[in-house]
Amino acid sequence: MKFCKFLFSVAVLVATWQAGPALLLASGGESDTATAVNPLTIDPDLAIFTALIFIVLLLFLSKFAWRPLMEGLDRREKSITDRIEEAKRGAEQAAEKLAQYEAKLAEAGAEAEKILVQARRDAAAATEKLLAEAREEADRERRRALGDIEAAKNQAIQEIAQRSADLAFSLARKVIHRELKPEDHAALIREALDQLPSKN
């Protein structure tokens, strides 16, 4: 900033130094080109007058132009610096939030994987339980069917035994009523066999 002030001061000094003689000539009214002032020669009166004008102009500009201009530039510089700092803070906060979101996303992925593994375990356990229940039910049905078959077999044996006893009793009564000859005996056996139910 100080360098800018210095450059501006030098520019004003050069402009005043160059414009000073031309202003004096214009105010003097001489239009003769032969008596033109050489800009490289230094006139002490003109130099003092130019220096006074320069100092007054410098004081005026520093009070009414440079100070507000520099204050405005300082405010702008501070505003830009503040915005850069704010942008940096915003970028840092965004990076932190991004890291948090990525961590949460990774955590959610791990949780979802755990849930899937647990669901697979539960499904396998439920399948195993259903299979075990189905096996138990099938065993119960088989035992019940075997029990029914055994009961039917026992009932059939009892019926056969009952019929055999009835048949034997009937045969014995017939035998007692008459004396059997071998032909009669064979006929009675055939008759008894015919009365038994066939397995076909």
Examine residue 168 and state whether it is found in any structural domain, yes or no. yes
For residue 63, the model assigns a pLDDT of 77
For residue 20, the model assigns a pLDDT of 60
The model's pTM is 0.36
pLDDT along the chain (200 residues), means of 10: 65 64 55 61 81 86 80 91 94 93 91 92 91 91 90 85 74 65 74 69
For residue 16, the model assigns a pLDDT of 67
Instruction: Give the residue numbers spanning the domain of 169.
Output: 157-195
Angstrom distance (rounded) from CA 35 to CA 83: 60
Examine residue 166 and state whether it is found in any structural domain, yes or no. yes
What's the pLDDT tens digit per position in 95-120?
A: 999 999 999 999 999 999 999 999 99
Instruction: Name the residue with tokens 């009564």.
Output: 173
For residue 104, the model assigns a pLDDT of 92
Q: What is the DSSP letter of 68?
A: H
Examine residue 182 and state whether it is found in any structural domain, yes or no. yes
| Number of structural domains in the chain | 1
Examine residue 186 and state whether it is found in any structural domain, yes or no. yes
Examine residue 124 and state whether it is found in any structural domain, yes or no. no
For residue 91, the model assigns a pLDDT of 93
- DSSP secondary structure letters along the chain: -HHHHHHHHHHHHHHHHHHHHHHHHHHHT---STTPPPTTS--HHHHHHHHHHHHHHHHHHIIIIIHHHHHHHHHHHHHHHHHHHHHHHHHHHHHHHHHHHHHHHHHHHHHHHHHHHHHHHHHHHHHHHHHHHHHHHHHHHHHHHHHHHHHHHHHHHHHHHHHHHHHHHHHHHHHHHSPPPHHHHHHHHHHHHHHSPP--
Examine residue 189 and state whether it is found in any structural domain, yes or no. yes
Examine residue 28 and state whether it is found in any structural domain, yes or no. no
* Amino acid letter, residue 35: T
